């Protein structure tokens, strides 16, 4: 195995550059930054559009075996929320993904998401808290909300109002980098 350490991005469409050129997505921008600032690391993107935490849980073992990451960025949960899935199930799935990543020797960064208010105050609060709870329980790094600072600005979103535009990708990278940088030893 190469001396290079792998950063695995394990997410959904927000990390899979849905609707924009792959080369303009935040993960590609992360790869460029890592090559400049942390050249002993490489970036692998195992994100799948439409992925839920259950789907991620089902494929985490094979993905860890394939990439042997030093760091795993877990960016899942948004699709669970949009489908109104039980928060308890999402937390259990995220917890299993984090636990398996840790057992494989990886440091973990959980990237949180928020839902629009039309899902109801109780559900949206529980959903948001789930990411914090998982990060605390497993003592891992957390980016509370990957779209922080621009989620309310429609010009940063594609016509579906869900997926960020190419112009928003650098903002996402900055948010994720804040949580990731301390994990890159």
What is the Cα–Cα distance from 76 to 90, expressed in whole angstroms? 9
d(CA 123, CA 87) in angstroms, rounded, equals 8
Closest by Cα among 77, 72, 74 to 52: 77
- From the list 49, 61, 68, 163, the catalytic residue is 163
Catalytic residue among 13, 15, 47, 101: 13
Distance CA 55, CA 93 (A): 9
Is 163 assigned a catalytic role?
yes
CB 43 within 8 A of CB 71: no
Residues 6+ apart with CB under 8 A from 122: none
49 catalytic, yes or no?
A: no
DSSP-derived secondary structure for 19-40: TS-GGGSHHHHHHHHHHHH-TT
Q: Is 13 considered catalytic here?
A: yes
| Residues with a known catalytic role | 13, 160, 163
């Amino acid at each position: 195995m190469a001396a290079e350490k792998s950063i695995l991005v394990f997410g959904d469409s927000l990390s899979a550059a849905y609707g924009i050129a792959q080369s303009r997505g935040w993960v590609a921008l992360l790869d460029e930054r890592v090559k400049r600032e942390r050249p002993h690391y490489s970036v692998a993107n195992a994100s799948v559009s439409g992925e839920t935490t259950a789907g991620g849980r089902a494929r985490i073992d094979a993905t860890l075996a394939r990439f042997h990451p030093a760091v795993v960025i877990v960016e899942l949960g948004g699709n669970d929320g949009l489908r109104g899935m039980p928060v308890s199930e999402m937390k259990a799935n995220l917890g299993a993904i984090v636990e398996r990543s840790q057992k494989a020797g990886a440091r973990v960064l959980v990237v949180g998401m928020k839902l629009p208010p039309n899902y109801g105050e109780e559900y949206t609060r529980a959903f948001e808290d789930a990411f914090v709870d998982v990060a605390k329980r497993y003592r891992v790094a957390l980016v509370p909300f990957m779209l922080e600072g621009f989620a309310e600005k429609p010009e940063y979103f594609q016509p579906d109002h869900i997926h960020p535009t190419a112009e928003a990708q650098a903002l996402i990278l900055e948010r994720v980098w804040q949580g990731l940088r301390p994990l890159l030893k």
